[in-house]
Chain A
């Protein structure tokens, strides 16, 4: 079974630029999560989708972050404009609806 796929793996941008990350969950997993992990900290939930609907986006900085999950499969997370403090690893995870979450390899973002 293929795992959660993410791209790109690394991204370097200047502050105030925009960036987008892509996630393809494990086939059949209805629940998809985006987490932000700043160096030295644990992952922080940004948004949770159930199929193509948002379940929880209470910790998403909506003035600059947006996410969508069209057709209930792939998802895209966008940052516009990026700030220095957005430098982090962005992790996508999926779940078949149980407690177990499967994490992708992450996208490491550096904002200069």
Chain B
């Protein structure tokens, strides 16, 4: 059974600063990693996926993966109040990638202070 660990927070960051969210996973053979954003009362929304060691950038978001340390992170630059949400880290349930079911962490509650 894969486990995904996240600090539940809340993580409070001033507007305009960089928010750093972290996630560790237990299964060394995990291949695909995802960050979802979930606003209160809403369903999860995919914001980043990453498969290879290193950094992947998309606008203000950067995902970082270190498979040796079994560590995934998400950086949000120029944080905006609209970024306030719970961020869920997820890994493929199996190692095949594709349309496998996901194992989620509990999520980190991020608060951007105006």
Query: Across the interface, do B99 and A43 meet the contact criterion of CB distance under 8 Å?
Result: no
* Chain B interface, >50% SS class: loop
User: Which of A56, A98, A103, A105 counts the most B-chain CB atoms under 10 A from its CB?
Assistant: A103
Query: Across the interface, do B99 and A50 meet the contact criterion of CB distance under 8 Å?
Result: yes
Query: Across the interface, do A45 and B102 meet the contact criterion of CB distance under 8 Å?
Result: yes
Query: Across the interface, do A100 and B46 meet the contact criterion of CB distance under 8 Å?
Result: yes
* Chain A interface, >50% SS class: loop
Give every chain B residue within 8 A of A95 (Cβ-Cβ): 99
Query: Across the interface, do B43 and A106 meet the contact criterion of CB distance under 8 Å?
Result: yes
Closest to B49 in A: A99
Check A101 for interface membership: any CB of B closer than 8 A. yes
Please report A residues at the B interface, Cβ cutoff 8 Å. 30-31, 33, 40-45, 48, 50, 55-56, 91, 95, 97-101, 103-106
12 A-B contacts, Cβ less than 8 Å apart?
Answer: A31-B99, A42-B104, A42-B105, A45-B93, A48-B99, A56-B93, A56-B101, A91-B43, A100-B46, A101-B99, A101-B102, A103-B45
Please report B residues at the A interface, Cβ cutoff 8 Å. 4, 8, 32, 34, 42-46, 49, 88, 90, 92-93, 97-107
Q: A41-B107, A42-B4, A43-B102 are in contact. List 19 more A-B contacts (CB 8 A).
A: A40-B106, A42-B88, A42-B106, A42-B107, A43-B104, A45-B93, A45-B101, A50-B99, A91-B43, A97-B98, A98-B99, A99-B32, A99-B49, A99-B99, A100-B49, A101-B99, A103-B43, A105-B43, A106-B43
